[in-house]
Amino acid sequence: MKIKRLLILIVVLLLVAGITVFFLMGQKINKFAKQDFNMVDIAGLPDGIYQGNASAVLVNAQVEVTVHAGQILEVKLLKHGHGPGHGAEEICDNIVQKNSPDVDSISGATASSIVIKTAVLEALKSEEPYETEKNPTR
């Protein structure tokens, strides 16, 4: 009888922990989504490669953003930890095409999309490249 109660207690604690993690992740994603993704003047940034990262508990991303002549030439997704959502990686191409992290999220991968866009924004907000670009591709 004691083993049954112990097992029930463990299951309840695991459920509470899981709900808490998803609640905290949702809060962080909502906070990221409310950002102004146009806050950085890309045209005024020095040429180079910028790094940024963002994390929302279970979803995280680390990016490198190459800027040349006021244009985002490339967004490399260096690390991407995500839950069941896949396909958010294509948002990197969308950011390059629009020359801004202010792009629509990928359907089915909303949390990952928001975290990747936030990582790009954090990279650009640094305003100082960590590496000077050697060979621009454009």
First to last CA, the chain: 71
Q: Which two tokens stand for residue 41?
A: 């003047």
- Taking domain 1-138, whether its CATH number is 3.90.1010.20 is answered by yes
Residue in this structure with the two tokens 């906070």, named with its chain if needed: 31
- pLDDT tens column, 18-75: 898 888 888 999 999 999 998 999 999 999 999 999 999 889 999 999 999 999 999 9
Contact present, 119 and 101 (Cβ < 8 Å): no
The pTM for the full model equals 0.83
Q: Give the integer Cα–Cα distance in Å for 126 and 134.
A: 19
Strand order in the sheet with 71-81: 48-56, 59-68, 71-81
Classify 14 as helix, strand or coil.
helix
